[in-house]
Amino acid sequence: MKLTEFFLAELDREAASSRQALQRVPEDRNDWKPHPKSMPLGYLASLVATMPSWIVSMVKQDELDLKSPAAAKFKPLEWRKREELIAALDTAVAEAREALQNTTDDHLLTSWRFVVGGHVVSENPRQTMIADSVFSHLAHHRGQLTVYLRLNDSSVPALYGPSADEGRMN
């Protein structure tokens, strides 16, 4: 299987899981957080919705410097309604899909850098960055989001197996 095919299939699976979680996010709790050091619910939901778009930068650019004007695109989405989160997810997935469909496996094996103010934080093959910094990172934040859902009395979707709310095998 080609890397591009693998990543497109992974994008579909991750998008479906993210959609299930985002559809349950309470609309009136954007500032809520479980601990003073935790990120607010609204920001976390926005992150889950938009993270697939990071693939575009990893495919089309050689680096992303978080202190550059280009990084302004990655500011958090301000949202009030769940539909806005779902629309942002759909846009992010469509952009990622287009980038992956228009690249090659050879290109995905070339280096990509994550930079902050000129300082290289990490440099790896694009395929590694997509796997780690998008898909694994997205699963991590989606897991955080499901904890936030539980703590706000929202149902938790059965993403990788049964949850206390769905798919229980009694």
Among candidate residues 18, 48, 31, 49, the one with its CA nearest the CA of residue 152: 31
Give tens-digit pLDDT for 15-60. 999 999 999 999 999 999 999 999 999 999 999 999 999 999 999 9
d(CA 96, CA 89): 10
Evaluate if residue 169 carries a pLDDT over 70. no
Give tens-digit pLDDT for 132-148. 999 999 999 999 999 99
User: Which DSSP string do the residues of 38-104 spell out, in sequence order?
Assistant: SPPHHHHHHHHHHGGGHHHHHHH-SEEETTSGGGGGGSPPP-SSHHHHHHHHHHHHHHHHHHHHTS-
- The pLDDT value recorded for residue 170 is 55
d(CA 101, CA 95): 10
Q: Which CATH class is domain 3-151?
A: mainly alpha
Q: What is the pTM of this model?
A: 0.93
d(CA 95, CA 26): 26
Give tens-digit pLDDT for 103-132. 999 999 999 999 999 899 999 999 999 999
- Higher-scoring residue by pLDDT: 66, 71: 66
Give tens-digit pLDDT for 144-163. 999 999 999 999 999 999 99
Q: Where are the domains of the chain?
A: 3-151
Helix (H) or strand (E) holding 128: helix 126-129
Give tens-digit pLDDT for 81-110. 999 999 999 999 999 999 999 999 999 999
Find tokens 């093959």 and name the residue: 125
- The pLDDT value recorded for residue 104 is 98
